[in-house]
Structures are given as structure tokens and as C-alpha cells.
Amino acid sequence: MSMINDIERVLFSQQELQSKVTELGARITEDYAGKEPIFVGVLKGCFVFMADLMRAVNLPCQIDFMAVSSYGKGTTSSGEVQITKDLSYDIAGRDVIIVEDILDSGVTLNYLIGYLKHRNPRSVRIVTLFDKPSRRKAPVKADYYGYEVPDAFIVGYGLDYAEKYRNLPYIGILKPEIYE
Ligand code: IMP
Ligand code: MG
């Protein structure tokens, strides 16, 4: 069976995503004029978004990655965040932009922001492609976000369910029977 049979409907097409990411890149370019930010991607979900976002940013910049796990195989956060890959660079004095795929309960980013601030960056902001504000548990707000999404489990464009569907070029809502 093809992956496409697991998708209830397409929420954002490839073209819609591309123009939204271009828009976010332009805003960051404007806001960080004269600066040299470091983008810190939260693996693995960020990787498609971050690749496109970077190419929409016209600034000198660096990238780094962190990996955290809090989900296991489920569709809701376990609430416990573990760092499985740390930064490779010193971010002291730097303008950090955290790149996330989706801000859901906020537990992951709340933890990461605290962790990164301990390393004395000059500033920390968040860019996330998707925001599910209805599910927030921790007091986190994205500085830049692409779309607000409903409380449904979405996949594609880097976002997974049980490590699958990251390679879908669009965003789809997963059929609930896949994870129920
Ligand atoms: P939070 O700590 O609950 O905000 O978790 C955010 C992380 O959960 C995201 O970076 C995603 O990896 C994952 N996540 C949350 N909602 C979805 C979804 O609808 N589809 C895929 N992954 C999701
Ligand atoms: Mg993620």
C-alpha cells in the first residue's frame, strides 16, 4: 500500500509551503539585517523546513542541530525531554534562531530555550512552520510561525508518525485509524 492511502486530506500543498517559507525567510532577513544569526534546528522534524528556510534567508549565518526525544512512538508528548544530540558550536554572544517543525504542547521548546539561555547567547528566537496553540501546556510563543493548525496529527515535509511520512512533499492529515 502506498503512503498516500494513509492520508485523510492534504492540508498544505507543496506550492503553499514554499511560498510561506519564502515569506518567513524574507521576514528574518529584514529583522536580522547587519547580524549573523545561528540557526539551531531541532532534529529530525526540522530538516526539510530548515533546508528551504535557509535558502530563503539572505544573510551570513551558520547552522547547528540538536536532537531531543520526548515522543517515542505515540502522537502526544511524554512530557519528558531528553537531549540526544547537543550543539557543536559555542553560542555565547550569538543571535540564536531555533528552527522547529511544529510547536505543540511547547514542552520541548520550553526545555530547549532554558537550556540554550544557560549558554549566554545574545538573543534567542523561535521560528516554527506550524503552531497548534490549542494544545499548549508550557508558556512558549513562536516569534515566527507559518501556519496555525488544528488539533489533528499532521505528517509530511519532515514531520513523521513513527518515523514514516517525512518524505511526503506536502502536509497531510493522517487518518486516525493509522494511530488509534
Ligand atoms: P511539543 O513538546 O509537544 O511542543 O512537541 C513538539 C514536537 O512534537 C514537534 O517538534 C514534533 O516533532 C512533534 N509533533 C507535535 N505534533 C505533531 C504532529 O501533528 N505531527 C508530527 N509531529 C508532531
Ligand atoms: Mg520536532
Q: How far apart are CA 156 and CA 45, in angstroms?
A: 9
Residue type, 25: G
Tens of pLDDT along the chain (180 residues) come to 688 899 999 999 999 999 999 999 999 999 999 999 999 999 999 999 999 999 999 999 999 999 998 755 566 666 678 899 999 999 999 999 999 999 999 999 999 999 999 999 999 999 999 999 999 999 999 999 999 999 999 999 999 999 999 999 999 999 999 988
177 Cα: distance to centroid of ligand 1 (angstroms): 19
DSSP E strands: which ranges in the chain? 7-12, 38-43, 62-69, 82-85, 95-103, 123-131, 144-148, 154-155, 171-174
Q: Report pTM.
A: 0.94
Task: Give the SS3 label for residue 129.
Answer: strand
90 catalytically annotated: no
Residues with CB under 6 A from ligand 1: 42, 45, 70-71, 77, 100-108, 153-155, 159
DSSP E strands: which ranges in 109-170? 123-131, 144-148, 154-155
Of 68, 39, 1, which Cα lies nearest the Cα of 144?
39
The minimum-distance atom of ligand 1 relative to the CA of 108 is 2
The pLDDT, as a whole number, for residue 76 is 63
The pLDDT, as a whole number, for residue 35 is 98
